[in-house]
């Protein structure tokens, strides 16, 4: 990754005080430089139907071995931007071509009877746990890439993020897995297994402190990726157990659930 281009992207959105105020500037010499290095992009316009087709096409060009290798490689190197392709690949694995179908009237709120959307505006995308809209006009992909590089992603199940994530990973070269990466994965799995039955995601995040180079935000996203990929999966329904936190995919996981040995073998079997 070009260091200057990365710095331009990061400084566009972030300062020592946190998020910078809008509007963000997507023009000028610095922007053109970062764009030439594939880290920043022009505002993006696309329909739902075309976006679905693009996700399906790019998924065909990215293998399970590629995303698993990238994920493992990220553990010791702390290249967090390589992690979420695992969840993006898993989300789009069974994705099929379809036209937009509105969520309106598809779901009923259990308390007040009102209609609502589970993830996004398309009912079919919802069935794949993917959030989408009917049309995207002048969409900012730069902020998605910023989140990907800084924390490992935030809007992991948004269709534009899935598309961008897989496209960027498909261009990565020279990624390999070291013994240290596999050792970290084994320690992560042991840490999950040693959780107390009632532990929730926040307790697991604290247990993972020190297992691999990371901060709290990166560990939060790390668990979200594992949950989206089916590794941290609730063994039973726990409606309303989420509570006040920033978790999404991993929100109803508990220590008694452990991890899915099947998915671990499916994704990381060659290294274990």
For 225-235, write each residue's pLDDT tens digit.
999 999 998 87
Q: Quick check: is 25 in a domain?
A: yes
Residue 244: what pLDDT? 55
Residue 103: what pLDDT? 80
Residue 104: what pLDDT? 74
> Per-residue pLDDT for 43 more than 70?
yes
Q: Across all residues in the chain, what is the average pLDDT?
A: 91
Q: Quick check: is 27 in a domain?
A: yes
pTM of the model: 0.92
Residue 238: what pLDDT? 65
Q: Quick check: is 249 in a domain?
A: yes
Give the chain's domain count. 2
Give the CA count within 13 Å in the CB-facing half-sphere of 217: 9
For 146-188, write each residue's pLDDT tens digit.
999 999 999 999 999 999 999 999 999 989 999 999 999 999 9
Q: Quick check: is 64 in a domain?
A: no
pLDDT band per the 50, 70, 90 thresholds, residue 125: very high
pLDDT band per the 50, 70, 90 thresholds, residue 25: confident
Alpha carbons 16 and 265: distance in angstroms, whole number: 41
Q: What angle do CA 120, 124, 169 make, to 5 degrees?
A: 70
Residue-number span of the structural domain to which 189 is assigned: 179-271
Q: Quick check: is 84 in a domain?
A: no
pLDDT band per the 50, 70, 90 thresholds, residue 117: low
Residue 185: what pLDDT? 98
For 195-246, write each residue's pLDDT tens digit.
999 999 999 999 999 999 999 999 999 999 999 999 998 877 766 554 556 7
- Buried/exposed 79-111: b ≥16 CB within 10 Å, e otherwise: bbbbbbbbbbbbbbeebeebebbebeeeeeeee
Q: Quick check: is 48 in a domain?
A: no
For residue 27, with 0-12 CB atoms within 10 Å meaning exposed, 13-18 middle and 19 or more buried, which class applies? Answer: exposed
For 62-108, write each residue's pLDDT tens digit.
999 999 999 999 999 999 999 999 999 999 999 999 999 988 766 66
Alpha carbons 157 and 104: distance in angstroms, whole number: 20
> Per-residue pLDDT for 113 more than 60?
no
Instruction: Kindly state the greatest CA–CA separation across the chain.
Output: 54
Q: Quick check: is 15 in a domain?
A: yes
Q: Quick check: is 52 in a domain?
A: no
């Amino acid at each position: 990754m070009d260091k200057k281009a990365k710095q331009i992207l990061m400084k566009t959105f972030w300062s020592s005080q946190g998020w910078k105020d809008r509007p963000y500037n997507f023009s000028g010499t610095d922007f053109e430089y970062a764009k030439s290095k594939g880290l920043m992009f022009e505002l993006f316009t696309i329909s739902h139907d075309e976006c679905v087709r693009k996700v399906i096409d790019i998924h065909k060009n990215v293998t399970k071995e590629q995303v698993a290798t990238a994920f493992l490689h990220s553990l010791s190197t702390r290249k967090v931007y390589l992690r979420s392709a695992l969840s993006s690949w898993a989300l789009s694995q069974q994705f099929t071509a379809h036209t937009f179908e509105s969520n309106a009237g598809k779901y009923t709120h259990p308390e007040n009877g009102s209609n609502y959307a589970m993830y996004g505006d398309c009912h079919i995308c919802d069935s794949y746990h993917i959030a989408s809209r009917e049309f995207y006009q002048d969409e900012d992909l730069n902020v998605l890439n910023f989140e990907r590089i800084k924390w490992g992603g935030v809007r992991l199940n948004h269709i534009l993020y899935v598309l961008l994530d897989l496209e960027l990973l498909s261009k990565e070269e020279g990624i390999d897995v070291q013994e240290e990466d596999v050792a970290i994965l084994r320690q992560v799995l042991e840490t999950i297994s040693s959780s107390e039955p009632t532990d929730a995601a926040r307790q697991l995040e604290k247990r993972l402190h020190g297992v691999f180079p990371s901060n709290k935000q990166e560990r939060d996203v790390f668990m979200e990726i594992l949950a989206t990929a089916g590794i941290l999966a609730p063994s039973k329904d726990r409606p309303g157990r989420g509570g006040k936190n920033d978790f999404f995919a991993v929100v109803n996981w508990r220590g008694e659930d452990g991890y899915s040995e099947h998915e671990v073998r499916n994704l990381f079997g060659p290294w274990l």
